[in-house]
Structure 1
Amino acid sequence: MPTTPPVTPSAAPEDPYAAVRTRKYAGLLLMAAVLGVPVSAIAFGFLALVSELQSLTYTELPKALGFDATPSWWPVPLLGVAGLLVGLVVRRLPGGGGHRPAEGLVSTGAPPAADLPGIVLAALVSLGMGAVLGPEAPLIALGGGLAVWAAGRVKRDLPPDARSLVGASGSFAAVSALLGSPLLGAFLLMEVAGLAGPMLGVALVPGLLSAGIGALIFTGLGSWTGLGTYSLRLGEVPPAATPDAAGFGWALVLGLAAAFAGAGIRRLSLALQERVERRTVVATAVMGLFVGALALVYAETSGKEGSEVLYSGEHELGHLLSASAEYSVGALVLLIVCKSLAYCASLSCFRGGPVFPAMFVGAVGGVALSHLPGLELTAGFAMGVGAMCVAMLRLPMTSVLLATLLLGREGVTVMPLVIVAVVVAYVVTLRLTPASADRDGVRPEAG
């Protein structure tokens, strides 16, 4: 009769927290804290430069050319030039301009220093001239790359594991205040990196330290310069009603709708990416013209600003919620269609992150559906944000936190509905995603 062999001391699991008790770990924390200051300052400068470029190209330049206001056709040539410039950067500079946003958002480690100029330049042109992408992926790459480069100058024999933690800490510092909370940025990077088990705390603490320092630097620089913090913020949030049976029913509907919409956007952007890469420069310029044309169609048809179709949508979320009564259902549906198509085109060739446009498309969908019986405005907005985020990113914890923390006190009220919508969208998204997609390497990367 077989017997179970006794457990020997050598078979006992190693202490996962042993590293925390060492002097080297304390030194790593100190390095993360010190590097968090310049990295977060550089990230703040990057966001400030993006904001200035958006104002320069969309507002100041038309005025300088003699226009009383920005013409509705202005985004067409603007995005065409942007596509040409980004295509040249992707084709000519090391690193291909950074990660390809159509493939989503997962960690592949900090990029080498030689790739950083191309990453920054491609992102500045893309984000500053109206591509429908967010700044989170370039910031993650920039923060991680700078931190690893600086750490290598200070300590050339830095072990690979320590180098990875330093790179992650730099990414934490760079993205800490962007999403409105250092904790939310930490959850984003935690899920992106796939950290789990007892080592989660060991790996996360340096990043949390850098995130906290980064948030302080963002706040201080925002106050000192008068430019603000560039953090995700909403203005006045309408009161949310207590969830009821109808609300939970709508959570199922929104979750399903977001899963299918996200699958469509992802597949179309990947198909476009495959074609763009055959003739990068010309095809990227064509995609830019297409994005500009969508903004023109929306502006001429709805009477609204074409800029609502452009950019990440981060700064339009508050206006969308507070001024939702100004939008007809037809205008909202048109905005969803134009923004989604512009999002697909931007994902296929420009450089940036996929988070904020997903939030915006989901929010518009939730606001549009709130015109129907049983769905309250704030709940629809929150569920749309969470469900569309998880459909595009496949990061359920981050998606729930994005949708609820964004709404402040009202977010706590609608959190049960958001959780249901996110879970439904997450499960259906995974069912709609072919298993071969992950095996073949169609996986996102964070820069």
Structure 2
Amino acid sequence: MSVGEPGAASAAAPEDPYAPLRTRPYLGLLALTALVGVPVCAVAFGFLALVNELQPVIYTDLPAALGFHDTPVWWPLPMLALAGLLVGLTVRHLPGRGGHEPADGFKAGGAPSLAELPGVACASLASLGLGAVLGPEAPLIAIGGGLAVGALRLAKRNADARAAALVGAAGSFAAVSALLGSPLLGAFLLMEVSGLAGPLLGTVLAPGLLAAGIGALIFTGLGDWTGLGTYGLALHDIPEATAPTVSEFGWALVIGIAAAFAGAGVHRLALFLKGRVERRRVVGTVVAGLAVAGLAIGYGAGTGREPSEVMYSGETALEGLLAHGATYSTAALVSLVACKALAYCVSLSSFRGGPIFPAMFVGAAGGMLLSELPGLTLTAGFAMGVGAMAVAMLKLPMTSVLLATLLLGSEGLTVMPLVIVAVVISYVVSVRLTPTPAPGGSPPAGGTGRA
């Protein structure tokens, strides 16, 4: 079409990216997300409460009820074998295969259908409640998005795909609103995972922020009303941080590189094991559970510390790790990092849950181990380890910086320059270590097999 032809000017006119925000349907969508956020957050709170209640019931109350004076050192073996059996059967027989495969990385995906949510809940509850080394964020995102889209479909059967995507994202925002300690941090997490940018981001982010803000209030209110407290990430007894030094910037380089290689190792081993598990899903997941239990028992026997430090996501153990770091010998920290990282690999390959909190815990323990060397303080090592390992596993640099710094409150502001350097170094090296996807998007490792 030449310049003078009719329609050339209109064809060249750019679309208004803010047009959706000016429409009445968008305002109705905001109201719907606010309404949906309330029940979604109530379900998310109940899910987290159930996970947190299951852990002491399984590992403290049940042994006592069976007549044991203390929890036997072998107790994780049958419990994690049971977890593997339940997860394997869920993945094999229920719709949705139990949800997201954590070994494939933390990435955006469509909200599951209502028919798939029972499988997501069953697999993640068995994994998290019985001791697999994964966190609750991935199943919460799936449950929140699935419930929100399901509610939209029930209320408006002809809802278009764009509206479903917006409402699903808002449901996910609401579900993780208080988990990471701040609704803003949850928003950053989902913003980076979605890969959105530019003016379109505001269109999608506004409903999510609204749902996240309401969700944080719901979490706080339910915590007070039930007496169960909140389940957000928070540290309290934090050693004072000092102004960054030249030597600590050097340590930021070391920690960034080390975390990148550690993250690449964890991810590749997880994919390798995943391929073997998928060949015999049920048996493979049971064996994986026994492997996690064996690592926990070996750590406890070798160090005299609690095997539970190797089990679970590590979310609630971060505060004790930092506050009581002086009680860990060098050998205990080395053993903790090695056993937790290996248990993390096995859990990623087989169970269902999220990758964030175990990565933070492994990085924190590694940073504390390095802080025993000259030129690195405990708080700085802890923060840089958290951020560098988080970005190595998630490939989300902004979220990783915020995770490491907001976690430490005012002390996090002091060490933020060090965290930024460690995160950027780890991110760049991690990307360079990541194999280029094969044509057609097939994974570089792991393989497939009979489920």
Taking structure 1 as the reference length, the TM-score comes to: 0.97
1:109 paired residue number? 110
Helix, strand or coil for the counterpart of 1:412? helix
In 1: Cα distance, 2:328 partner to 2:439 partner:
39
Helix, strand or coil for the counterpart of 2:375? coil
Q: Deviations over 1:303-323 (max 9, x none)?
A: 000000000000010001110
1:102-181 paired onto structure 2 within 5 Å: 102-181=103-182
Q: Deviations over 1:281-338 (max 9, x none)?
A: 0010000001000000000010000000000000010001110000011100000110
- Alpha-carbon shift at residue 441 of structure 1 (Å): 4.0
Q: Does 1:97 align with 2:103?
A: no
1:198 paired residue number? 199
- Alpha-carbon shift at residue 8 of structure 1 (Å): 2.6
Q: What count of residue pairs does the alignment treat as equivalent?
A: 441
Distance 1:178 1:441, change over 3 A: farther
- Alpha-carbon shift at residue 76 of structure 1 (Å): 1.2
Distance 1:441 1:194, change over 3 A: farther
Q: Which amino acid aligns with 1:233?
A: A
Q: Identify the structure with bigger relative contact order (alpha carbons < 8 Å, sequence gap 6+).
A: 1
In 2: Cα distance, 1:387 partner to 1:441 partner:
27
- Alpha-carbon shift at residue 439 of structure 1 (Å): 5.6
1:224 paired residue number? 225
Q: Does 1:16 align with 2:17?
A: yes
Distance 1:396 1:437, change over 3 A: farther
Q: Which amino acid aligns with 1:68?
A: H
1:281 paired residue number? 282
Helix, strand or coil for the counterpart of 2:229? coil
Unaligned runs of 5+ in 2: 445-451
Q: Does 1:39 align with 2:37?
A: no
* Larger displacement relative to structure 2 (28-37 or 195-204): 195-204
Distance 1:5 1:336, change over 3 A: farther
Q: Deviations over 1:16-56 (max 9, x none)?
A: 00110110110000000000000000000000011111111
Helix, strand or coil for the counterpart of 2:362? helix
Q: Does 1:292 align with 2:281?
A: no
Q: Which amino acid aligns with 1:198?
A: P
- Alpha-carbon shift at residue 437 of structure 1 (Å): 5.7
Q: Which amino acid aligns with 2:437?
A: S
1:71 paired residue number? 72
Helix, strand or coil for the counterpart of 2:317? helix
Q: Which amino acid aligns with 1:256?
A: I
In 1: Cα distance, 2:419 partner to 2:232 partner:
22
Q: Deviations over 1:206-233 (max 9, x none)?
A: 0000000000000000011111111001
Q: Which amino acid aligns with 1:52?
A: E
1:347 paired residue number? 348
Q: Which amino acid aligns with 1:238?
A: P
1:26 paired residue number? 27
Q: Does 1:306 align with 2:307?
A: yes
- Alpha-carbon shift at residue 436 of structure 1 (Å): 2.1
In 1: Cα distance, 2:255 partner to 2:3 partner:
52
- Alpha-carbon shift at residue 440 of structure 1 (Å): 2.5
Q: Which amino acid aligns with 1:79?
A: L
In 2: Cα distance, 1:214 partner to 1:162 partner:
20
1:259 paired residue number? 260
Q: Which amino acid aligns with 2:19?
A: A
2:447 paired residue number? none
In 2: Cα distance, 1:4 partner to 1:267 partner:
55
Q: Deviations over 1:51-93 (max 9, x none)?
A: 1111111111111111111122211111011101110111111
2:422 paired residue number? 421
* Larger displacement relative to structure 2 (429-438 or 349-358): 429-438
2:407 paired residue number? 406
Helix, strand or coil for the counterpart of 1:436? coil
In 1: Cα distance, 2:37 partner to 2:56 partner:
29
Q: Deviations over 1:83-104 (max 9, x none)?
A: 0111011111111000100111
- Alpha-carbon shift at residue 5 of structure 1 (Å): 9.7
Q: Does 1:246 align with 2:247?
A: yes
Taking structure 2 as the reference length, the TM-score comes to: 0.96
2:366 paired residue number? 365
- Alpha-carbon shift at residue 112 of structure 1 (Å): 1.0
Unaligned runs of 5+ in 1: none
